[in-house]
């Protein structure tokens, strides 16, 4: 059965391959995360059947409701927490995510450390950077993130694998190219300074999680190792029946 989701996934993969070709990169170095927030399990199943393995969610409650559904069916899904995370919700995630992308404070990393230690697990994270200094967005400033990484490095159950950003919403992805390039450079500098861990758990480091439906091809050209694509795979989201 060929579904619209499968066709969309194939189109996104094709665009990623083309962006890699333009920039002399190996497509194997770019992981596509299908962002499934607000979408039902059936949509995730369709994407799984079409070969998707990594899924991104923004809300702890929705994520922890979806995880057991797929565990019970023996489906292997790598879950990525990409939305803003409150400290009091960390306990629900410990040991259940492949990667938490949205760590935006040292205090949050310390809470992840505490819960990971309690569950005798280790947690891979990215540090979120607010590349354009937008008021509406979470994240460290580019100036602060290295200092934060130096503090977080002391936490034995938390591993900083790289950086994540959500660039400004745009109709023209070229307007975000400079942001992506700057984050790429920052991640390399931090890796050289020992502030980002060597490869682990199948992730090449430094991980650079950047690029969404509107701008992922430019992000790939500028070095993204993870792109987070929702709308271009699953269609537009309907928030009308949700309380956020
Ligand atoms: C929703 C979301 C995405 C996906 O956005 P699309 O524009 O639908 O591709 C990616 N990253 C984060 C952090 C998100 O919240």
pLDDT for res 241: 57
Q: Residue ranges of the chain with pLDDT lower than 50?
A: 1, 243-244
Phi, psi of 159 (to 5 degrees): -125, 120
> Distance, CA 197 to ligand 1 centroid (Å)?
26
> Encoding tokens for residue 83?
């939305």
pTM: predicted TM-score of the whole model, two decimal places: 0.96
| CA of residue 177 relative to chain centroid, distance | 18
How far are the Cα atoms of 40, 85, 86, 89, 178 from residue 59, in angstroms, in the given order? 14, 8, 10, 10, 29
Give the pLDDT confidence score for residue 238 in this predicted structure: 85
Strands 207-209 and 31-35: what pairing? unpaired
Q: Which of 100, 228, 235 to mutate to test the pocket of ligand 1 (most atoms within 8 A of CB)?
A: 228
Residue with tokens 């066709």: 7
The residue whose CB lies within 8 Å of the most ligand 1 atoms, and thus the one to mutate among 212, 214, 239, is 212
Distance 99 CA to ligand 1 centre (A): 16
| Beta bridge partner(s), residue 128 | 164
Q: Ligand 1 test: best mutation among 165, 168, 230, most atoms within 8 Å of CB? A: 230
Q: Can you give the pLDDT at residue 243?
A: 47
Structure confidence at residue 244 (pLDDT): 44
- pLDDT 10s digits, 197-217: 999 999 999 999 999 999 999
Share of the chain above pLDDT 90, in %: 95
Residue 118 CA to ligand 1 centre (angstroms): 31
Q: How far is the CA of 191 from the centre of ligand 1 (A)?
A: 26
Q: Report all structural domains of the chain as residue ranges with CATH numbers, in order of start.
A: 3-234 (3.20.20.10)
Tens-digit pLDDT profile for residues 48-69: 999 999 999 999 999 999 999 9
């Amino acid at each position: 059965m060929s579904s619209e989701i499968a066709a969309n996934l194939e189109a996104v993969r094709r665009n990623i391959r083309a962006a890699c070709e333009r920039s002399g990169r190996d497509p194997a170095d770019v992981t596509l995360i299908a962002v499934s927030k607000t979408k039902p399990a059936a949509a995730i199943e369709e994407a799984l059947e079409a070969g998707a393995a990594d899924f991104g969610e923004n809300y702890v409650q929705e994520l922890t409701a979806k995880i057991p559904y797929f565990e019970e069916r023996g489906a292997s899904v790598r879950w990525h927490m990409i939305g803003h995370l409150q400290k009091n919700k960390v306990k629900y995630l410990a040991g259940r995510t492949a990667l938490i992308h949205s760590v935006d404070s040292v205090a949050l990393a310390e809470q992840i450390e505490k819960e990971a230690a309690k569950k005798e697990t280790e947690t891979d994270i990215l540090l979120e950077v607010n590349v354009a200094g937008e008021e509406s967005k979470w994240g460290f400033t580019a100036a602060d993130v290295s200092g934060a990484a130096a503090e977080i490095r002391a936490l034995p159950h938390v591993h900083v694998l790289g950086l994540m950003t959500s660039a400004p919403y745009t109709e023209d992805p070229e307007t975000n190219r400079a942001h992506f390039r700057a984050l790429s450079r920052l991640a390399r500098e931090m890796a050289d300074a020992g502030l980002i861990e060597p490869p682990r758990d199948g992730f090449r480091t430094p991980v650079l999680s950047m690029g969404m439906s509107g701008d992922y091809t430019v992000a790939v050209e500028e070095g993204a190792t993870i792109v987070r694509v929702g709308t271009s795979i699953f269609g537009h989201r309907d928030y009308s029946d949700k309380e956020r």
